[in-house]
Amino acid sequence: MQPKPRALSMLFRRGALSALVLGVSLAHAGTFLGVASDRDGVALVSVVVSLKPIGRAAPTTPAQEITVSQENATFKPYISVIRVGSSVVFANRDNMEHHIKSFSSSKPFEIAVHKPGDTPPPIRFDKEGAVVAYCILHDWMRAYVYVADTPWFSTTEVNTGIARIENLPAGDYEAIAWHPDLGQYKPPLTQKVTVPATGAVEVTFKFDLKARPVRQAPKNFGSGARTK
């Protein structure tokens, strides 16, 4: 079913507003398509793609605060992308305790055992890079926070492996692609790309890996039912 004209109009106005915030004219804005695959050429999901302008500063944007919750002994969402200076709240929505810790050099932190329903103070991420958060009490639990030093980022879609970034000012960029299986120590893939004033440019990223399944709670662990 096609969206109603009014809905399309709203989408356009939101896109225009985003472009204006970043100082981009829609008449002179390009589109970037990042296509990610594994070593066998299979489309790769959960890839974070970001664009850093070359030879000029990225526009400033307000810091954000997002929530990564613990639900059914799983972090949700599994992957989050934020800009440098933004914060994450790790909220416990389980009926059990969790103890979260990050050993990542870009943002080490620890949230000592917090009770069901607790919402600890937000953690501010002030350095670019990948951060892995673990639950010490439940070793299968992982959450990835990718901190980008740019307002332009996206993640690859299921089935297509394509990340789409729109409303880009024309010019040269460093395209950066990172997958959770690279962890916090292996470097991301990078390429230089020139975005046109109109139209789209496509870049491919082939990772030398086969994606590992996301670890889940053992079947005999229990329900871990949410409390909130």
pLDDT digits (tens, 9 = 90+) for 195-223: 999 999 999 999 999 999 888 888 877 65
| Overall average pLDDT of the 40-55 stretch | 97
Domain 65-147 sits in CATH 1.10.3210.50: no
| Overall average pLDDT of the 108-132 stretch | 95
pLDDT at position 79 is 97
Tokens of 66: 């997002």
Can you tell me whether residue 223 is helix, strand or coil? coil
In this structure, are residues 98 and 71 in contact, taking their beta carbons and an 8 Å threshold? no
In this structure, are residues 179 and 161 in contact, taking their beta carbons and an 8 Å threshold? no
Between CA 28 and CA 170 the distance in angstroms is 7
Q: Using the structure block, give the residue that is written with the tokens 């440098």.
A: 84
| Overall average pLDDT of the 163-184 stretch | 96
Q: DSSP secondary structure string, the chain? A: -PPPHHHHHHHHHHHHHHHHHTT--GGGEEEEEEEEE-TTS-B--S-EEEEEESSSPPPP----EEEEEEETTEEESSEEEEETT-EEEEEE-SSS-EEEEE--TT--EEEEEE-TT--PPPEE--S-EEEEEEESSSTT-EEEEEEESSS-EEEPPTTT-EEEEEEEESEEEEEEEE-GGGTTTSPPEEEEEEE-SSSEEEEEEE-SS-PPPPP---TTS-------
Where in the sequence of the chain do the CATH 2.60.40.420 domains occur?
65-147
Q: Is 15 exposed, middle or buried (0-12, 13-18, 19+ CB in 10 A)?
A: middle
H helix intervals, 119-160: none
φ, ψ for residue 111, nearest 5 deg: -115, 100
Fold (topology level) of 28-58+154-206: Immunoglobulin-like (2.60.40)
| Overall average pLDDT of the 150-173 stretch | 97
Where in the sequence of the chain do the CATH 2.60.40.10 domains occur?
28-58+154-206
pLDDT at position 223 is 53
pLDDT at position 222 is 64
Displacement of CA 129 from its chain's centroid (Å): 11
User: Is the per-residue pLDDT at 226 higher than 70?
Assistant: no
Give which of 15, 49, 53 is closest to 192, Cα–Cα.
53
Q: What is the mean pLDDT of the chain?
A: 87
pLDDT at position 217 is 86
Which residue type sits at 208? D
